[in-house]
Amino acid sequence: MAATLIVVQGPQQGRRFTLEASVVPVGRDASNVIRLHDTEVSRRHAEFRRTAEGYVVVDLGSSNGTWVNSQRVQQHLLQTGDRIRLGQTVLLYSAEQTGADHDLAERINLISRGEQELGTASIVGKVSAEEGARVLADPSRAESLWAQNALVNLRILLQAAQVVSQVLDIHQLLQQLLDLVLEGVPAERACILLYDPSHGQWQPAAARWRCEEAASVDFPISRTILDYVAKHGEGILFSDAPHDDRIGQAASVVRYGITEAICVPMKGRHETVGLLYLDKRHPLSGNHEGLTLAASGTPLHHHLTEVHLRLAVALAHQAALAVEETRYYQALVQSERLAAIGQTIAAISHHIKNILQGLRSGMELLSMGIREKNETFLQQGWRILEKNQARIYDLVMDMLSYSKERAPNLEPCDLGSLIQEVLELMSGRISEQNVHCQVELTPMPGPILLDPEAMHRCLLNLVTNALDALQEVEDRRLTIRTEFDPNRHEVCIRVADTGPGIPPEKLGELFKPFVSTKGARGTGLGLAVSRKIVREHGGDIVVHSRPGQGSEFVIRLPSTAAISSRQERVQAERQA
């Protein structure tokens, strides 16, 4: 059973570690399988030990301890979603599913009509799907005041759940949640503060004022109240804030006339990520006479109550979950980005190293030729330099083509002429390898709208790959054939060779970047670039291959009419 650790907080944020061994030590020392660059982590801090139930984290007598979900532990069986804190580093644990529910479909049986019927006498009540929405839309129809308030709060919580699931931007999400808070709580102002672990401070993240005039005035918040809630981890309601013993007549509360306040912790799954603060002053600033809450119709001059406190706690929990999910997602994206960068650097470094070795060999031959005045060495060295210069050019062009998002610059092209240009460019190599080249061109109804430079590169990649494959066989044949399907409005280009073919297990990854079947000779970008170019034209490319029988790459492109209409849309969008 494998598991994953993602650094969600700390010096190595975004780093991903895989747990596969039976014992995985973690610490600051270089001898650890997982080495953390954190000065508060001990040299040998802890171990992850695999058991039948999963991985267990075991503290090895570290100075600052091992913490799981804010609890200090000596050893702990980990579950997916657990947060492990070692020093300043927080790791998110994720275990692969064991497939325990793989037979769920076999264990749950749907009874057919012939086996058993539900008699109408068993149905004691019915309600339409629209009834629930109708009741929530008009809570005043409830029979009692208690039921009305409960429906109001339920509606606000449902709306909060919708906001959390639909809004991706965390700042916009928090602002909308504050709007919902002010719909259900007769407060004058609302603010969300998030904890910044790097500075150890509460940072304002969102604020709302009920009165627009008050929004231009500073929003003072008593640090005494914040510190109390953060310390005790519980929501509090002040009905007479200046005389409440819990805050000891905080000067800011008295100075700014704050008479009532609610402050609750934003508790996520495992820790407090922020605070939700609401308050009101008497007399209310601005003109609130006769105004009521949008959700319940409660007059704004009513006091804050325990019901409002419980609603604030529930909404704060929703906000905390949203903040946690955003941070987890950001850490996951960062981890994937770092992994992609590492893979890219490793692949490019490998290819550049091979090219540099070729350049060095060529330069050594040139030096020998100059030193010994040997023209043969000079010619051999020069050919090696030219070959490796071309490899550098191809690598750079493939990287640029793959990384750059661009719309094709379409213009009328003669497909036959484009193919001939590619073959003329490769004619020297075709002759050198003694390859029999056959071109079969089907007449087209007219010029094809293509990006000639991009499609030239795509075909060049396919022809180059075919010639590379033909080096390994004696029967060397290359066939390029074009077809036109008037029914599907499609142009087809087939590039086939009689090479050794491609193993079936490699066909699925053939178009992925940095995947090559040619070893050190290939960059692994040619086919990825070719597919990208074809798809930018609205088409696709597929491969058919069997070991020992060669390979055929098939490019399918929309015909002239289809491409023309798309080009008109692109031009219209650019002009707009």
pLDDT at 495 over 90: yes
Note the Cα 499 to chain centre separation in Å: 39
Question: What are the b/e assignments for 270-295, b being 16+ CB within 10 Å?
Answer: bbbbbbbbbbbbeebbbebeeeebeb
Q: Which range (252-266, 453-467, 493-507) has the least confidence?
A: 252-266
Residue of 551 and 428 predicted with greater confidence: 551
In 3D space, the residue among 107, 120, 82 whose CA is nearest the CA of residue 6 turns out to be: 82
Residue 85: the pLDDT is 92
Q: Which range (26-35, 121-130, 449-458) has the least confidence?
A: 121-130
DSSP track, 542-574: EEEE-TTS-EEEEEEEE-HHHHHHHHHHHHHHH
The CATH architecture that domain 3-94 belongs to is: Sandwich (2.60)
pLDDT at 271 over 60: yes
pLDDT at 552 over 90: yes
Label the pairing between strands 34-35 and 23-27: parallel
In 3D space, the residue among 199, 253, 246, 186 whose CA is nearest the CA of residue 222 turns out to be: 253
Residue 457: the pLDDT is 85
Give the largest Cα separation in the chain, rounded. 108
Residue of 164 and 435 predicted with greater confidence: 435
Question: Each residue of 26-53: pLDDT tens digit?
Answer: 999 889 999 998 889 999 999 999 998 8
Residue 84: the pLDDT is 92
Residue 165: the pLDDT is 76
Question: Each residue of 470-489: pLDDT tens digit?
Answer: 988 899 999 999 999 888 88
Give percent above pLDDT 70 in the chain. 76
Please report where in the chains the tokens 């119709």 appear, as a residue: 297
Q: Given phi > 0 = left and psi -120 to 50 = alpha, else beta, which region is 122? A: alpha
Global confidence as pTM: 0.51
Contact 39, 87 (CB under 8 A): yes
The pLDDT confidence band at residue 419, using thresholds 50, 70 and 90, is very high
Alpha-carbon gap, residue 367 to 349, rounded angstroms? 26
The domain made up of 411-568 has a fold known as Heat Shock Protein 90 (3.30.565)
Residue 563: the pLDDT is 45
Give the CATH class of 101-282+303-331: alpha beta
Residue 321: the pLDDT is 87
Residue of 118 and 345 predicted with greater confidence: 345
Residue of 362 and 76 predicted with greater confidence: 76
Q: Residue 86: how many CB atoms within 10 A of its CB?
A: 26
Residue 285: the pLDDT is 47
Question: What are the b/e assignments for 323-356, b being 16+ CB within 10 Å?
Answer: bbeebbeebbebbeebeeeeeeeebbeebeebbe
Alpha-carbon gap, residue 562 to 525, rounded angstroms? 29
DSSP track, 408-453: ---EEE-HHHHHHHHHHHTHHHHHHTT-EEEEE-PPPSS-EEE-HH
The average pLDDT across 380-405 equals: 77
Q: Which range (8-12, 29-33, 329-333) has the least confidence?
A: 329-333
Residue 331: the pLDDT is 76
Residue 12: the pLDDT is 83
Residue 120: the pLDDT is 52
Question: Each residue of 274-293: pLDDT tens digit?
Answer: 999 998 875 544 444 444 45
In 3D space, the residue among 456, 493, 479 whose CA is nearest the CA of residue 551 turns out to be: 479
Contact 265, 235 (CB under 8 A): yes
Residue 565: the pLDDT is 44
Residue 99: the pLDDT is 53
**What is the H or E stretch that residue 487 is in?**
none
Residue 248: the pLDDT is 53
| In the chain, where the domains are located | 3-94, 101-282+303-331, 334-403, 411-568
When mean pLDDT is compared over 5-14, 103-112, 457-466, the highest value belongs to 457-466
CATH 1.10.287 holds for 334-403? yes
| Interhelix angle 170-184/306-372, nearest 10 degrees | 180
Note the Cα 271 to chain centre separation in Å: 24
Amino acid letter at 444?
M
Alpha-carbon gap, residue 234 to 369, rounded angstroms? 84
DSSP track, 517-531: SSGGG--S-HHHHHH
Q: Residue 258: how many CB atoms within 10 A of its CB?
A: 23
